[in-house]
């Protein structure tokens, strides 16, 4: 049996106690997730995080640190994802920019507003990444070593 993890990135973007989330359609449900997606060929993890955030929310962001690296096996399909989650800050919104297919809209929610809707989490990683961010422990972006 051939097993291969899927490499993904996500961003936690906070502004005055609210977090930039994505309301999206996934497996026939409307869910909330961090801006997140798959690493593409010839792309660094940092480039992927910035690109995915822009494509899913219309926001340019500046990455400020690494929150953590997570392994998650989705119960719906048994696929294992390795997620590298970055912290960042919002720089500029492009409201006229079309969003990725399946994205309903970006949403700014507090941690409490997110906690009140567990049935809408895309996965348990959504609150976990925010909670890990809220501990204040960020790793430097230099943790990520791109090929020379």
What per-residue confidence (pLDDT) applies to 1?
63
Domain coordinates of the chain in residue numbers?
Answer: 6-138
Give the pairing type, strands 18-26 and 6-15.
Answer: antiparallel
Asked if 85 and 67 touch (Cβ cutoff 8 Å), the reply is yes
| pLDDT for 141 beyond 90 | yes
Q: How far is CA 16 from CA 26, 89, 131, 141, in A?
A: 28, 11, 16, 23
* DSSP H or E run through 119: none
CATH 3.40.50.300 for domain 6-138, yes or no, is no
Local structure of 44: helix, strand or coil: coil
- Could you tell me which residue, 74 or 25, shows the higher pLDDT? 25
121 bridge partner residues: 32
Query: What's the rounded Cα separation, in Å, for the pair 64 and 81?
Result: 23
Q: What is the pLDDT of residues 69-126, one digit of tens each?
A: 999 998 888 889 999 999 999 999 999 999 999 999 999 999 999 999 999 999 999 9
pLDDT class for 148, splitting at 50, 70, 90?
Answer: low
């Amino acid at each position: 049996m051939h097993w291969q993890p899927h490499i993904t990135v996500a961003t936690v973007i906070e502004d005055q106690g609210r977090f930039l989330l994505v309301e999206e359609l996934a497996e026939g449900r409307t869910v909330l997730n961090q801006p997140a997606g798959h690493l593409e060929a010839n792309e660094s993890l940092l480039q992927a995080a910035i690109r995915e955030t822009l494509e899913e929310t219309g926001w340019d962001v500046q990455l400020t640190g690494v929150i953590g690296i997570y392994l998650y096996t989705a119960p719906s399909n048994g696929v294992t994802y390795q997620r590298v989650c970055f912290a960042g800050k919002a720089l500029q919104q492009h409201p006229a920019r079309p969003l990725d297919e399946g994205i309903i809209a970006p949403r700014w929610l507090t941690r409490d507003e997110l906690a009140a809707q567990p049935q809408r989490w895309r996965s348990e990683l959504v609150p976990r990444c925010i909670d890990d961010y809220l501990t204040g422990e960020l790793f430097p972006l230099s943790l990520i070593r791109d090929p020379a």
